[in-house]
């Protein structure tokens, strides 16, 4: 791969997929075949993608993110047919896939013994997290012909990237290639669910609202915020998405010099003395708020405020995923 040089440092080549889709497909396929990890756009967040069947390539994901240990990674597929080559589908999971793929839903399913997905991608589990992303990523996987393991394209523990500029600022010196498709439409990671017999478990709230899943599955999603759930989704570290600044939730007032991230044009006392004031969605739309969340966190952080105050976010619809990310951003860090 050729990459540009900035300030004497190797920097990633950035290709705008709207400007040159064919160049993007070819460069990405070549880099993936050579075992590189590259940044790709998805509708949820930007992914740091590598060939899920190549152990050296998967190791590059962990090295690039500086992730301290091996967690199971979501394996991205071109379509349901490709997913069925790698995992066993029960009827409820198949109905969810038919309803929501391509889209922000990850299904945890039994891994087929003959699947070439490497155990470094599944962390040695006999299950695999699978999703079919919308747009260019799906086309790329189809052209490449193999599943792509892809966590969010950010340094471990930091705020997820929802634009190519976010990826470049964080990982540009460590990557050969970043594909740019503009801001991610959904803005938070996929919702992860697992069917267990008659039960349907929510392993991570995300960009598909729980009630949409319940409507198609015809049964409630069980929220298991227990120690065993933490073990089952080991990527769900308590402190995550952490900005440099401290994070204060459910704020009704803002202290002088704090940054304020509001919601729904709610009045917040002291806002005139805040260092920066942003509103995730002045009209109170939770999908718009999710799409803006990580970018606004980065902007508030860049303002130099020592603390970011967030207005309360309703716990309905995508608010469940937003509040999950905010609680992790606010959690004690060690």
Mark residues 158-197: x for contact with ligand TXA by CB under 6 A, - for none. Answer: -------------------------------xx-x-----
Size of the site for ligand TXA (CB under 6 A): 29
Does 42 bind Mg ion (CB under 5 A)? Our answer is: no
Nearest distance, CB of residue 281 and ligand TXA, angstroms: 20
Nearer to ligand TXA, 150 or 277 (CB): 150
- The contact mask relative to ligand TXA for 219-258 (x = CB under 6 A, - = no) is -------------xxxxx----------------------
Nearer residue to ligand TXA within complex by CB, 186 or 278: 186
For position 74 contacting ligand TXA by CB under 6 A, the verdict is: yes
The 3-class secondary structure across the chain, one letter per residue, is CCCEEECCEEECEEEECCCCHHHHHHHHHHHHHCCCCEEECCCCCCEEEEECCCHHHHHHHHHHHCCCCCCCCEEECCCHHHHHHHECCCHHHHHHHHHHCCCCEEEEEEECCCCCCCHHHHCCCCEEEEECCCCHHHHHHHHHCCCEECCECCCCCCCCCCCHHHHHHHHCCCCCEEEECCCCCCCCCCEEEEEECCEEEEEECCCCCHHHHHHHHCCCEEECCCHHHHHHCCCCCCCCCCCCCEEECCCCECCCCCEEEECCCCCCECHHHCCEEEECCCCCCHHHHHHHHHHHHHHHHHCCCCEEEECCCCCCCCHHHHHHHHHHHHCCCC
Q: Which does 234 bind (CB under 5 to 8 A by kind): Mg ion, ligand TXA, none?
A: ligand TXA
Question: Which of 44, 152, 281, 323: binder of Mg ion (CB under 5 A)?
Answer: 152
Per-residue binding string, Mg ion, 102-141, x by CB under 5 A, is ----------------------------------------
127 binds ligand TXA (CB under 6 A): yes
Site for ligand TXA in 276-295 (CB under 6 A): none
Interacting residues with Mg ion (CB under 5 A): 152
Interacting residues with ligand TXA (CB under 6 A): 42, 44-45, 47, 71-74, 106, 108, 122, 125, 127-129, 133, 150-152, 189-190, 192, 203-204, 232-236
């Amino acid at each position: 791969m050729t990459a540009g040089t900035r300030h004497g440092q190797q920097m990633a080549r950035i290709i705008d997929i709207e400007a040159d889709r064919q160049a993007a497909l070819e460069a990405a396929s070549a880099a993936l075949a050579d075992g590189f990890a590259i940044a790709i756009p998805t509708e949820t967040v930007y992914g740091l993608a590598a060939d899920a069947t190549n152990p050296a390539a998967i190791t590059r994901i962990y090295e690039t993110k500086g992730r301290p240990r091996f967690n199971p990674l979501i394996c991205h597929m071109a379509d349901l047919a490709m997913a069925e080559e790698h995992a066993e589908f029960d009827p409820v999971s198949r109905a969810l896939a038919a309803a929501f793929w391509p889209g922000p839903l990850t299904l945890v399913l039994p891994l087929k013994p003959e699947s070439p997905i490497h155990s470094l991608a599944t962390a040695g589990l006999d299950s695999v997290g699978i999703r079919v992303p919308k747009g260019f990523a799906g086309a790329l996987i189809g052209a490449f012909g193999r599943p792509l393991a892809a966590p969010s394209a950010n340094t471990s523990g930091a705020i997820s990237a929802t634009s190519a500029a976010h990826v470049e600022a964080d990982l540009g010196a460590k990557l050969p290639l970043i594909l740019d498709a503009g801001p991610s439409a959904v803005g938070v990671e996929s919702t992860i669910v697992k069917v267990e017999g008659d039960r349907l478990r929510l392993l991570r709230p995300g960009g598909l609202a729980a009630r949409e899943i319940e409507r198609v599955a015809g049964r409630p999603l069980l929220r298991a915020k227990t120690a065993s759930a933490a073990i089952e989704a080991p990527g769900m570290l308590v402190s995550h998405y952490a900005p440099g600044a401290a994070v204060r939730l459910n704020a009704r007032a803002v202290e002088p010099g704090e940054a304020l991230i509001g919601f729904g044009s709610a009045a917040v006392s002291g806002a005139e003395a805040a260092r920066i004031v942003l509103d995730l969605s002045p009209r109170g739309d939770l999908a718009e708020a999710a799409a803006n969340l990580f970018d606004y966190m980065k902007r508030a952080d860049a303002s130099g405020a020592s603390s970011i105050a967030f207005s309360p976010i309703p716990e309905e619809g995508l608010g469940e995923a937003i509040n999950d990310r905010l609680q992790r951003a606010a959690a004690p860090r060690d």
